[in-house]
Amino acid sequence: MVRRALVLFDLEQDAVLCRVTGVLRAGVLDATLKDRQSAGLLRTLVARLDGLVTAEKSIFIRRLGVLSADDQKAVRDIWGQHTRL
């Protein structure tokens, strides 16, 4: 099965990812990715920051695109508002 994901942290051989889905809901850790063209997406999707995973980068099939500055800011803002390290 192939799934879309957003790489949050690049850890050399591994990466920390979050799910990206077309199921639009309003969770506190959901970031709507509005700039579809820049991100290489066919429709508006949501990055779900509430379920992070670590994966080996060797399993990645391809890169769809890069988030626009506005979408990156939205992800950072939501992460900063609702999480603490």
Residue 22, pLDDT > 90, answer no
**pLDDT for res 71:** 93
Residue 41, pLDDT > 90, answer no
Q: Which residue has the higher pLDDT, 34 or 84?
A: 34
Whole-angstrom distance, CA of residue 84 vs CA of residue 68? 24
On the 0-12 / 13-18 / 19+ scale of CB atoms within 10 A, 33 is buried
Averaged pLDDT, 14-19: 96
CATH of 5-82, one of 3.40.50.1000, 3.40.50.880, 1.10.10.10, 2.30.30.110: 2.30.30.110
Averaged pLDDT, 32-60: 89
- Nearest in space to 64 (alpha carbons), one of 81, 84, 47: 47
Beta bridge partners of 46: 21, 32
pTM, to two decimals: 0.85
